[in-house]
Every structure is written in structure tokens, then in C-alpha cells.
């Protein structure tokens, strides 16, 4: 017989409508069946109770077989409920993702429409807009009054010193023409 202390402890842990928090598909349970404790995930417990049901049927014990079957059914229902909750959460997340993606697509399409429908910028009439005072040069430049900057100026070509001619050895070998005569 179980002590009341262990029962009260387990009840205080699961005050949320007798549903433990977390993912029960992978949670390990201790099932206290008629043959002792069965420990494992809900699927493992279901498999164990189904095996015990078959063993009881083969031995001819209909009462024990029915008892094991009821234990297996309990964990089957628990597992299917947990799976339904997981599927509902997954569907909700997928729905939210689809809504977010549709909103992003809508915003992108609106931005592209604004950019494509926007009129091309018209150059302002210089006479009508406020312009800063400009000091006029003495002679207007031929390129429309633009100021030449150092970056735009052509780079001067590098000049090299001419090389000194190498002394030729051929001249030293041939005797001067005056000495031969």
C-alpha cells in the first residue's frame, strides 16, 4: 500500500488540470500497474502493457489481460492527446508564418509599385530655385563653367633622363683610319 505522503507530493506537482508541463511524448513515466512499476515514455509503456496483455491471454487470465489492456489504453489516449496538442501548435505556427510572409510580400509589392510609378525627378529651373551666391570668374570656361579639380586634371607624363651611351668595344678594336695610312 502506498503512503499518503507520496500521493500528496505527486498531486501538488500536477495542479494544472492533471497535465504535467512539457512535452509528454518524450517524458519518462512511472506506471504502477498490477504487476509492479513500468517505467518509460508513453509509447514504451503502451508496448509493455500490450505485451503483458498478450502474455495474460496466453496464460488464460482474462481479468489480468483486461487490466493490462486498460492501462495501455490510458497511455494511448494520453499520447494521442499530446500529439493533437503538438499538431495544433505546429499548425498555429505555420499559420502565423504564412501571415508574416504574406505581409512581407505585400509590403515588397507596394514598395516596388511606388518605385515604378514614381515620376522621374524633374530637374529644377535654376532661375526659380534658391541658389547660393556665386562669384563669377573673369573668363567663362569652355566646358560650361565647371571648376577643374585635381582629380579631374590629367596626370603629367613622367619624364626620364636620357641614358648615356655605352662605350662600344667595336670602336676600340678597329684601329683609327689615320694611323693606317
Show me where the domains of the chain are located.
Answer: 22-115
Average pLDDT (110-121) is 80
**Is the pLDDT reported for residue 90 higher than 80?**
yes
* More confident site: 8 or 130: 130
Angle at 73 between CA 40 and CA 67, to 5 degrees: 95
**Dihedral (C-alpha) 120, 125, 131, 134: value to the nearest 10 degrees?**
120
Average pLDDT of the residues in 48-77? 94
Amino acid at each position: 500500500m502506498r503512503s499518503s505522503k507520496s500521493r500528496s507530493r505527486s498531486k501538488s506537482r500536477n495542479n494544472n488540470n492533471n497535465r504535467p508541463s512539457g512535452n509528454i511524448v518524450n517524458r519518462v513515466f512511472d506506471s504502477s500497474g498490477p504487476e509492479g512499476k513500468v517505467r518509460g515514455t508513453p509509447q514504451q509503456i503502451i508496448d509493455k502493457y500490450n505485451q503483458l496483455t498478450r502474455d495474460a491471454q496466453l496464460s488464460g487470465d482474462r481479468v489480468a489481460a483486461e487490466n493490462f489492456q486498460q492501462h495501455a489504453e490510458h497511455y494511448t489516449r494520453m499520447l494521442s492527446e499530446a500529439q493533437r496538442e503538438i499538431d495544433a501548435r505546429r499548425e498555429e505556427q505555420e499559420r502565423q508564418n504564412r501571415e508574416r510572409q504574406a505581409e512581407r510580400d505585400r509590403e515588397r509589392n507596394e514598395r516596388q509599385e511606388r518605385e515604378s510609378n514614381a515620376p522621374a525627378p524633374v530637374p529644377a529651373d535654376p532661375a526659380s530655385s534658391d541658389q547660393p551666391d556665386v562669384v563669377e570668374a573673369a573668363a567663362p570656361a569652355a566646358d560650361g563653367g565647371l571648376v577643374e579639380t585635381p582629380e579631374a586634371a590629367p596626370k603629367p607624363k613622367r619624364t626620364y633622363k636620357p641614358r648615356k651611351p655605352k662605350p662600344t668595344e667595336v670602336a676600340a678594336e678597329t684601329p683609327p683610319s689615320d694611323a693606317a695610312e
